[in-house]
Structure formats: C-alpha cells, structure tokens
Amino acid sequence: MPSIKSLAATLATAIVPFALAAETIHESEQASFSVETVASGLEHPWAIAFLPDGSQLVTERAGRLRVIRDGKLEKDPVAGVPEVAARGQGGLLDILLHPEFEQNRLLFLSYAHANDAGMTTRVARAELNDNNLENLEVIFEAEPRSDTTRHFAGRMVIPDDGYLYVTVGDRGEMDRAQEFGDDAGAVHRITIDGNTPDDNPFADRDDARKTLFTKGNRNIQGMTLHPETGEIWSHEHGPRGGDEVNVIEAGTNYGWPEITYGINYSGTPITDQTHKEGMAQPLHYWDPSIAPSGMAFYTGEDFPDWQGDLFVGALKMQKLVRLELDGREVTGEEDLLTDLNKRIRAVTMGADGHLWLLTDAGNGEVLKLVPTER
C-alpha cells in the first residue's frame, strides 16, 4: 500500500500539469497573453453583446438568447425570442444593442426564418426588460425566400448616422448577388423602425430594392466600425479561396461572382476575372480560404502595440488573425491561437477593454484574452 507521502507526491504531479495548462501563455509578435474561459456549455454561440450592468448576452444558433452574469452562465434563457429556423447554417445569429440602450432598452436580433415559401434572413427589434423580450417587431425580411440553408449572413452595425446596417448572404445561389431586384448578396440600410432612408444609394432605381446599400457580397459574417473614422469594415467568405476584407461604401458593387480570387469547392473556376470596371477590389484577401467570422478593431489598453489592429476569427483554419494596418492598407498579418484547435465564430471588443471570442461548437465557449508577463 503506498505511503501518504507517495500519494501526496503523485497528487502534486497530477495537479501541476493541469495548473500549467490553465495558465498557458501565448506569444504574439507584440504581446504575451493567456486565454480565460468565461463560460462554456453553449450550443454554437454566434454573437455577444455587453450590457451596461457588466453582464453579457450571447446568441445560440439553436434559437436561445443566454445571459452571463458575474462570470456565470445563467440556466434560464431570455424569454420572448422570435421563432428561429435552426437548419444548416441558419438559426439565431447576431445581436446588437441600440446606442441608447440604457434609456430605451432596445436591441436587434438577426435570424433565419422559415415558412411554406422557404427560408430567409430576418431582423427583429425588441425591448429587454428583466429576462424577457417585449414588444418584438420584425423590421426587416430579405426577399425572395429560398429553399437553401446556406449563407444567411446576418451581421449588424449602427454607425454614427443612426441607421441599422444588416448583411444578407447570397443564400448559396451566387447569381442573386448581382440581381438588384433581389435582397440577397448585399448590405442593407434601414431605420431602427424598419423604414427606408430617402438617401439610400439605389432608392431612385426602379429595378432595385430600396434598402440596398451595396451589392455583390457573397456572405459577410464579420462587420465592425473603425474606431477613428467610423467607417464600416467587413469581411466575407469566399468559396475555395477569395475571402475578402472590404470597407463598405454606399452604392458599391463588390463583384461576387463576376470577379473573385476563389474557385468552386470542386476545383473548377467560377470566373477567370479578378478585376472588372465598376467593381471594388478587396483591401485584403486570403487564398486558401480561412472561413472568416467575426471581426473587431482592438481599442483596449492591455496591449498597446495592438492598438488599431484588426482581429478576425477563422472557422476552417481555427485561429485568430491579427492584421496590422496603415490607413486602409494591410501591412502585416499574424496567426494567433492556432494551437487551440477551435473554430472562432465571433471576435468582439468587450466593454471591459478585453478582446472576447466565441467558439463554434456544440459545447461552445466564451473566451477573453488577458495580458501576462513575458
């Protein structure tokens, strides 16, 4: 029978590796950091929002809105979430708080919805009171619907102009991205009540949807505001190669599928053109594809050398990408967290000044990056 001393030594050696693993230090070119797990047990979390009281709201693609309070995931989801079609890539997607949330309690949810005519992307507005969504109203619905279960997009931002910008993917039917009478493959601009601003770039075209702000976008799953210029930056999935980073500008056609740096998943060409007059070039692209999702500019104080860098999550390549910028020019690129082996769905600057991540898995996690000593 082993002695108490030998048992204690065995226990100590078992505990030490676990403790070291919990404090794994990740080295960037410009920073040293660890990854803190805030919450786990989420079913394919998609987006996160930070409430004024310091708690967080997280969407699960299965159709639940969860609350993290005081660092703990609450058991009961928020009541009153709209009916969601969690099929294929569809489900409950983005969440965005109104800039004056403290006063009006308004938030916005994007999600996939299904009926007899097929599936589509919707946006609903509601008031959050206690643990309930009240006065929920659908303020945007992309038309026409489709039977496909792909490329719903769904990212949202509200810049300084006070309008809501929402992305809609091409629904896996690429030619729709160049059809101006179709809501697919685009960024849309609406008021918070769901009305169409009079100065939308295609509002005077008889053949165009009035809410269109851009066209030729394949599937934008990252969108954020530049902290200094207020510009809307985005990235979108390419097919096999050709993921893009773009600045979203009124009336711009981003070219999909008439121009692309990618090819079909089968290996066959989509087009032999990467440039075309009247269509925008990306600021940056990846080939092979990293399957980008989520993006944020770093504006915190923990990592001074990261100030102004753009961070992008990767699903397929399972990493966090840091892009160094000089204005709109990408001057450097670094891959981080390649050893986590986790699909990164969302990248968000938290109200606490930390960079927060969501991992896309059946047992998805909420993570944040915290500084460590080199």
**Active site (catalytic) residues:** 151
Q: Nearest to residue 53, comparing CAs of 351, 333, 274?
A: 351
> What is the total residue count of the chain?
374
| Cβ pair 372, 25 in contact under 8 A | yes
Q: Is 276 helix (H, G, I), strand (E, B) or coil?
A: coil
Q: Nearest Cα to 148, choosing from 165, 167, 168? A: 168
Element (H, E) at 13: helix 4-22
Element (H, E) at 101: helix 101-104
Q: Cα(139)–Cα(181) distance, rounded to whole angstroms?
A: 19
The residues facing 210 across adjacent strands are none
**338 and 318 Cβ atoms separated by less than 8 Å:** yes
Kindly give, in sequence order, each residue whose CB lies less than 8 Å from that of residue 93, ignoring residues fewer than 6 positions away: 46, 47, 59, 61, 109, 110, 111, 112, 121, 152, 154, 155
CA–CA distance, 92 with 86 (Å, rounded to integer): 7
Nearest of 28, 47, 25 to residue 36 by alpha carbon: 25
The answer to whether 197 and 163 have CB atoms below 8 angstroms apart is yes
Q: Which two tokens stand for residue 366?
A: 């909420």
By DSSP bridging, strand 45-50 and strand 56-60 are: antiparallel
What residues are paired with 296 via a beta bridge?
Answer: 311
Please state, in angstroms and rounded to a whole number, the distance separating the CA atoms of residues 202 and 213: 7
Closest CA to 244 of 287, 186, 187: 287
Q: What DSSP designation does 306 have?
A: G
Count Cβ atoms below 10 Å from residue 87 Cβ, excluding itself: 13
